[in-house]
């Protein structure tokens, strides 16, 4: 990315970005100190932002959430068994924490800390983050079975608000690393023993692997660097098997290609892959030379054949990714990180 293009994109962000993107631009793109006037003022705007108020006004007394929003339609009913930190999808606590983490919130905020404590209240002694409160307090000695699907989602979003500083979370992250397969990916044993699928799987699952990699990436912990590299290389390998044109979308068979490209760039892992080159070319095609902004040009509608997901899934995946300011911020963040 040329300096001229970079300057134009940053100028556009400063003039047009929403409150969270403005804050992230000063902090992460321009590298200003956390106590600079620009950063402090932009963070004040984040806290006063309509979305921040909307989210925190709906937080329950125990720190949890069960609410719809611009990222998802309102839940139509409360499930018979209530709700957990991760179920139903997209409207419960860890999904909301993921949104807040993207906006710049962290565990240093007392409301976020309360939500983290709520989620970790579902942790078993062996490190498993359960969805069954009846398991709390039972004896869970010994190595638990390998079922990382929902737990990887919980860990990714908890780490996105920097909860990896909590020693309780280290136990769960260590367990996740022990569950990593030889191919670098993750796979629930239920997909091999017939519990969740008729046929056995013999490679990692991109969906659970994508969340697992994000958990390790957001943890910022050096002891997980090897597992992170292996996971990123698995994701790149899996994308490399697919038609180039098909991966140019915000969600693809469990992948979130834009988020994964950002991790490739920031860590400088798997940048030599075909998929990384394809996604970088796609990103460049979204650049508007007149304004410096990036405008999403991936599929606007769900394809059940290609995406294999519902509209609510795509709505959540696209939130804070496909809007012009968020996309421009991510593009600059990615391109700034590439080796010269």
What pLDDT does 329 receive?
Answer: 98
pLDDT at 150 exceeding the cut of 80: yes
| Confidence grade of residue 303 (pLDDT, cut at 50, 70, 90) | low
Confidence of residue 195 (pLDDT cuts 50, 70, 90): low
SS3 of the chain: helix, strand, coil, percent, to 5: 55, 5, 45
User: Cα–Cα distance between 214 and 207 in angstroms, integer?
Assistant: 11
**Strand partners of residue 72:** 69
Residue 69's SS3 state is strand
Task: Band the pLDDT of 1: cuts 50, 70, 90.
Answer: low
Region 277-292 average pLDDT = 97
86 Cβ contact partners less than 8 Å away, ≥ 6 residues apart: 92, 93, 94, 95, 131, 150, 153, 154
| Whether residue 148 has pLDDT greater than 90 | yes
Q: CB of 155 within 8 A of CB of 169?
A: yes
Quote the mean pLDDT of the chain. Answer: 91
Which H or E element spans position 253? none
Q: What is the pLDDT of residues 247-267, one digit of tens each?
A: 999 988 889 999 999 999 999
pLDDT range class, residue 3, cuts 50, 70, 90: confident
- Provide CB contacts within 8 A for 330, sequence distance 6+: 258, 262, 321
Question: Is the Cα dihedral 55, 61, 64, 67 positive or negative?
Answer: negative
Q: Residues 36-46: what's their mean pLDDT?
A: 97
pLDDT score of 62 more than 60: yes
- Per-residue pLDDT at 269 exceeds 80: yes
pLDDT at residue 196 tops 60:
no
Within a 10 A sphere around the Cβ of 27, how many other Cβ atoms?
18
Strand partners, 287: 294
Two tokens at 147? 């079922």
Q: Of 65-79, 209-223, 244-258, 275-289, which gets the smallest average pLDDT? A: 65-79
Q: Does 95 have pLDDT greater than 60?
A: yes
Tens digit of pLDDT for each residue in 167-176?
999 999 999 9
pLDDT for the residue numbered 193: 56
d(CA 228, CA 171): 17
pTM: 0.94
What is the Cα–Cα distance from 281 to 50, expressed in whole angstroms?
34
């Amino acid at each position: 990315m040329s300096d001229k293009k970079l300057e134009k994109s940053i100028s556009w962000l400063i003039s047009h970005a929403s409150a969270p993107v403005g804050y992230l631009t000063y902090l992460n793109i321009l590298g200003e100190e956390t106590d600079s006037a620009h950063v402090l003022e932009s963070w004040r705007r984040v806290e006063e932002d309509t979305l921040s108020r909307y989210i925190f006004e709906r937080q329950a007394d125990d720190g949890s959430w069960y609410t719809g929003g611009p990222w998802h339609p309102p839940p139509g009913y409360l499930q018979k068994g209530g709700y957990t930190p991760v179920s139903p999808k997209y409207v419960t606590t860890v999904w909301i924490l993921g949104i807040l983490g993207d906006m710049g919130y962290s565990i240093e905020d007392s409301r976020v800390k309360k939500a983290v404590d709520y989620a970790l209240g579902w942790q078993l002694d062996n490190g498993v983050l359960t969805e069954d409160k009846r398991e709390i307090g039972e004896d869970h000695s010994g190595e638990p079975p390998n079922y990382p699907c929902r737990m990887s989602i919980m860990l990714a979003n908890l780490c996105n608000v920097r909860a990896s500083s909590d020693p309780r979370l280290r136990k769960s992250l260590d367990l996740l690393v022990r569950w990593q397969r030889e191919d670098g990916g993750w796979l629930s044993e239920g997909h091999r023993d017939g519990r969740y699928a008729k046929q056995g799987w013999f490679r990692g699952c991109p969906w659970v692997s994508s969340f697992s990699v994000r958990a390790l990436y957001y943890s910022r912990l050096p002891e997980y660097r090897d597992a992170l590299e292996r996971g990123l290389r698995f994701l790149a390998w899996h994308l490399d098997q697919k038609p180039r044109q098909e991966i140019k979308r915000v969600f693809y068979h469990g992948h979130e290609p834009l988020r994964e490209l950002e991790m490739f760039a920031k860590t400088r892992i798997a940048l030599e892959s075909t998929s990384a080159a394809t996604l970088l070319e796609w990103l460049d095609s979204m650049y508007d030379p007149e304004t410096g902004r990036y405008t999403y040009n991936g599929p606007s509608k769900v394809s059940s054949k290609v995406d294999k997901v519902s509209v609510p899934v795509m709505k959540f995946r696209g939130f804070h990714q496909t809007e012009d300011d968020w996309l421009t911020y991510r593009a600059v963040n990615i391109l700034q990180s590439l080796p010269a």
